[in-house]
Structure 1
Amino acid sequence: MKKALAILGALLALAYPLLVYLSLGHATSEAMAALLLAVALIRGVSSWSKPGIPLQVAILLVLAGILYSQKQPDLLRYYPVLINLAMLGVFASSLIRGPSLIERLARLSEPDLPPSGVIYTRRVTQVWCVFFIANGSIALWTALYASWENWTLYNGLIAYLLMGGLMAGEWILRRRIRKNKL
Structure 2
Amino acid sequence: MSRARALALLALSLAYPLAVYFMLGRFEPRWLAVLLCVLALLRAFATRERIWLFAAVGTAALAVWATAFNAALPLKLYPALVNAAMLLLFGLSLRFPPTVVERLARLQDPDLPPGAVAYTRRVTQMWCGFFILNGGIAVITALWATERVWALYNGLIAYVMMGTLFAGEWLVRQRVKARSDD
Aligned counterparts of 1:66 and 1:5: Cα–Cα separation in 2: 29
Aligned pairs for 1:103-114 within 5 A: 103-114=102-113
Aligned counterparts of 1:59 and 1:14: Cα–Cα separation in 2: 19
Contact 1:88 1:132 in 2 (8 A): yes
Contact 1:92 1:126 in 2 (8 A): yes
Give 5+ residue unaligned stretches, structure 2: none
Deviation at 1:111, TM superposition (A): 0.8
Q: In structure 2, the residue corresponding to 1:112 is in which secondary structure?
A: coil
Q: Is the counterpart of residue 159 in structure 1 residue 158 in structure 2? A: yes
Contact 2:29 2:75 in 1 (8 A): no
Contact 1:6 1:42 in 2 (8 A): no
Aligned counterparts of 1:129 and 1:179: Cα–Cα separation in 2: 26
Q: What is the aligned-residue identity percentage? A: 46
Q: Is the counterpart of residue 91 in structure 1 residue 90 in structure 2? A: yes
TM (normalized to structure 1)? Answer: 0.91
- The alignment's C-alpha RMSD in Å is 1.7
Aligned pairs for 1:67-78 within 5 A: 67-78=66-77
Aligned counterparts of 1:36 and 1:43: Cα–Cα separation in 2: 11
CA deviation string 1:105-157 (max 9, x = no partner): 11111111000001000000000011111111111111111111111111110
CA deviation string 1:9-42 (max 9, x = no partner): 2111111110010011201223201112222333
Deviation at 1:176, TM superposition (A): 1.0
Aligned counterparts of 1:16 and 1:56: Cα–Cα separation in 2: 16
Aligned counterparts of 2:44 and 2:124: Cα–Cα separation in 1: 25
TM (normalized to structure 2)? Answer: 0.91
- Which residue identity lines up with residue 5 of structure 2 in the other structure? L
- 1:10 to 1:118, Cα distance in 2 relative to 1, 3 A: same
Q: In structure 2, the residue corresponding to 1:22 is in which secondary structure?
A: helix
Aligned counterparts of 1:178 and 1:110: Cα–Cα separation in 2: 12
Aligned pairs for 1:29-108 within 5 A: 29-45=29-45, 47-50=46-49, 52-108=51-107
Deviation at 1:54, TM superposition (A): 2.9
Aligned counterparts of 2:5 and 2:42: Cα–Cα separation in 1: 6
- Which residue identity lines up with residue 146 of structure 1 in the other structure? A
- Which residue identity lines up with residue 26 of structure 1 in the other structure? R
Deviation at 1:180, TM superposition (A): 1.9
| Aligned residue pairs, count | 181
Aligned counterparts of 1:51 and 1:155: Cα–Cα separation in 2: 24
